[in-house]
Chain A
Amino acid sequence: MNSSDRVVSLNAPARPNGSGAAAILSAGAGSFALAVLAFAGDKSALIKSSLVFYKPTGPLSGVTTAAILTWLFTWGILEWRWRKRTVAAGRISAIALVFLGLSLLLTFPPVVDLF
């Protein structure tokens, strides 16, 4: 690739940020869903038993499957709504990082044991 190609690539117009924001927010939401489901399963025997999707793996199978479906569903909806738009990426990224921070807290056993 010669230098003129690189100049063209570097100066290409910016894409709308909606698609990236959708991926980031949905990753935060999916992580948070995983943490909330894990927390709920730890605190309620009924929820724990309802999360057993695959018996050898136990409730972890339901926690992770439901969280991944939540993540992918949220991503699909947001991508569909935002992909051609420019959105408030700063606010959306901040919300996603708050979700991620809460996920880290809620998956940390000493924090779970506080409740």
Chain B
Amino acid sequence: MEITTRSLWALIHGMGFGALYLLACSGALLELYRFTSSYPPSDSTPGHERFLKGYLITMVVLAWAAVLTGAYVLYPWYRAAPPPGTADLSMYPQRLLLSSPTTIGWHSFGMEWKEHIAWLVPISITMAAFVFIRYGRGLRNHRQLRAAVLCFTLVSFLAAGVAGFFGAMINKYAPVQGGPTIQLSPGGEK
């Protein structure tokens, strides 16, 4: 069993940072709403508030790690130009997608959308985390700020969903691959 370094980076970016962010997002939306609603539930303690602050900071780190690895580690491999006359485009995912009318949309629509909308995620969640850390449960006294924070967090969830969906589909049709191989376990017949 083995994996190439490029595939490993794709896993770290998508299944690690991206998927963890998406999993965390619904919890963050619910907790932000619960903590900042007009009628605080009886079990909301300063300990819970500290936990939510740490949770949001973790989401900020995940969001930035996802977009930075996507743009500066994986994307250069994705958009690499093949030498003239290259017949096998499997190492050049963008060109591979563009080479067939049945897959061109995954680049011209999917990647074009994903590569930009994904950056709204770290901007939105950084803002949401900052505002919650600054105001804590006091945010319930600022209804307009609270509404804006919830909207931005919801948009970050949707944007991460779009980026995650197209990332998974593009990696299905034209995976980023190559680079040194990492042996995970010795092979052998059963």
Q: Contact check, A17 vs B116: say whether CB atoms are below 8 A apart.
A: no
B108 at the interface (CB under 8 A from A): yes
Task: Report how far A9 CA is from B138 CA in the complex, Å.
Answer: 9
Contacts of A61 in B (CB 8 A): 71-72
A-B contact count (CB 8 A): 116
CB nearest to A103 among chain B residues: B120
Q: Contact check, A24 vs B131: say whether CB atoms are below 8 A apart.
A: yes
Closest CB-CB distance, B62 to chain A, in whole Å? Answer: 17
| Known contacts A31-B123, A93-B144, A107-B113; A15 and B75 CB within 8 A of each other | no
Q: Contact check, B124 vs A93: say whether CB atoms are below 8 A apart.
A: no
CB nearest to B132 among chain A residues: A20
Task: Report how far A30 CA is from B116 CA in the complex, Å.
Answer: 12
Task: Report how far A96 CA is from B135 CA in the complex, Å.
Answer: 19
A51 at the interface (CB under 8 A from B): no
Encode B116-160 as 1/0 by CB contact (under 8 A) with A: 110110011011001100110111011011011101100100010
Interface size class of A (residues with CB under 8 A): 35 or more
B82 at the interface (CB under 8 A from A): no
Which chain B residues have a beta carbon within 8 Å of chain A's beta carbons?
40, 45-47, 67, 71-72, 75-76, 79-80, 108-109, 112-113, 115-117, 119-120, 123-124, 126-127, 130-131, 134-135, 137-139, 141-142, 144-145, 147-149, 151-152, 155, 159
* Contacts A/B (CB < 8 Å), 29 sampled: A1-B45, A1-B47, A6-B45, A9-B137, A14-B141, A15-B134, A15-B135, A20-B131, A20-B142, A20-B145, A24-B127, A24-B148, A24-B152, A27-B127, A27-B152, A31-B120, A31-B124, A34-B116, A34-B120, A57-B72, A57-B79, A60-B75, A61-B72, A89-B142, A97-B148, A100-B120, A104-B155, A108-B113, A109-B109
Q: Which 3 A-B pairs have the closest CB atoms?
A: A56-B76, A27-B127, A93-B148
